[in-house]
Amino acid sequence: MSHRFDDERAWEILSESGAYMKGHFLLTTGRHSDQFFLLARLTERPDLLRPWAEALAARLKPYGVRTVVGPAVGGIIPAYAVASFAAGTRVLFAEKSESGGMAFKRGFRIEPGEAVAIVEDAVTTGSSVAKVVHAVKAAGGTVRVVGALVDRSQGPLRFEEPLEALLRVENIPNWDSQECPLCREGVPLTKPKS
Ligand SMILES: [Zn+2]
């Protein structure tokens, strides 16, 4: 039935799908790195995403949530995939509001006291998640847990709810362009998101 899913398998899938790349990359911060994550390469592959979703659903099960919420855009597919392994759960998404927060649109409703899990592709600072936590609370719901495929945080997160992440990624180097060793070697720079 279900196959092993551990850190080793997670890295294999990330590499195989192209969601984890090695090279010379321009980050959105303007800094350079020799590694890059593009989790859309993973979530575009239902077959490869399935073991992650199943493993994350198992991790979230003890929290007894009724609803899974994905922050748009990156969280929509992972939230859906996780919810598909949790019988009876609903799956919603929250999206950017005019005020700069996150809001439920499209007629999505959270009932008072409804137990919610937020599921993201990757968590770095947790700012999107924090905005969704706010939207859930404003609707009267309770966020029991935050699930993520990858935890890339480097400091305290901007939400207080427990985080269940399948893979912890640390120590990915990045440099100012002036100090980048790959620039010095003349390796062509790529912008992987464009
Ligand atoms: Zn460089």
Q: What is the mean pLDDT of residues 17-46?
A: 96
Query: CB of 93 within 8 A of CB of 76?
Result: yes
Residue count of the chain? 194
Q: How far is the CA of 121 from the centre of ligand 1 (A)?
A: 26
Q: How far is the CA of 17 from the centre of ligand 1 (A)?
A: 24
Question: What are the structural domains of the chain?
Answer: 45-170 (3.40.50.2020)
Q: What is the mean pLDDT of residues 174-192?
A: 96
What was the pLDDT predicted at 1? 45
Q: How far is the CA of 166 from the centre of ligand 1 (A)?
A: 30
- Which residue in this structure is represented by tokens 């748009």? 72
What distances in angstroms separate CA 191 from CA 30, 120, 147, 188, one per listed residue?
A: 10, 23, 28, 10
Q: How far is the CA of 127 from the centre of ligand 1 (A)?
A: 27
User: pTM for this one?
Assistant: 0.93
Mean pLDDT, the chain, whole residue set: 95
Q: How far is the CA of 26 from the centre of ligand 1 (A)?
A: 7
Q: How far is the CA of 66 from the centre of ligand 1 (A)?
A: 46
Can you tell me the distance from the alpha carbon of 171 to that of 185, in angstroms, rounded to the nearest whole number?
Answer: 22
- Which residue in this structure is represented by tokens 């409804």? 114
**pLDDT above 70: percentage of residues in the chain:** 98
Q: How far is the CA of 189 from the centre of ligand 1 (A)?
A: 6
What was the pLDDT predicted at 4? 79
Query: CB of 110 within 8 A of CB of 133?
Result: no
Can you tell me the distance from the alpha carbon of 109 to that of 39, in angstroms, rounded to the nearest whole number?
Answer: 28
Residue 98 token pair: 């005019």
**pLDDT above 90: percentage of residues in the chain:** 94
Answer yes or no: is pLDDT of 150 > 60: yes
Q: How far is the CA of 169 from the centre of ligand 1 (A)?
A: 21
Three-state secondary structure readout of 29-43 = CCCEEEEEECCHHHH
Q: What is the pLDDT of residues 79-126, one digit of tens each?
A: 999 999 999 999 999 999 999 999 999 999 999 999 999 999 999 999
What was the pLDDT predicted at 3? 62
What was the pLDDT predicted at 176? 97
